[in-house]
Amino acid sequence: MLRSILIAVGALFALGGAALLIAGNLGGIPPLAMGALLLLGTVWERVRYKPIESTSPGSGWVPTDERFVDEAGRTVQVWVEPKSGERRYVAL
């Protein structure tokens, strides 16, 4: 929900700024830049911070001793792929 709102606000800022620039008003640069940053940040966050998985990853992954309770109250265990160092989070 919050992610959708951020994307909508970012798009409105970017479109408003672009419209001002097309009309010849340089005052459109700040809203265009803010909208673009908001959109890029929201999209990057989704790519960078992946959701918690419900099943254990395949072979080559090793469970760690690291566990925590997420915002929903689920216990989550961290798995790591030793060759790449990639981490995955799996709900127990």
Residue 1, pLDDT score = 79
Side-chain-side CA neighbours of 20 within 13 Å: the count stands at: 15
Residue 68, pLDDT score = 92
Q: Is the CB of residue 31 less than 8 Å from the CB of residue 22?
A: no
Give start and end residues of each alpha helix (H) in the chain: 2-22, 29-48
Q: Residue 47 — very low, low, confident or very high, per pLDDT cuts 50/70/90?
A: low
Higher pLDDT, 64 or 44: 64
Q: What mean pLDDT comes out for the span 42-56?
A: 79
pLDDT (tens digit per residue) in 56-76: 898 899 999 999 998 788 999
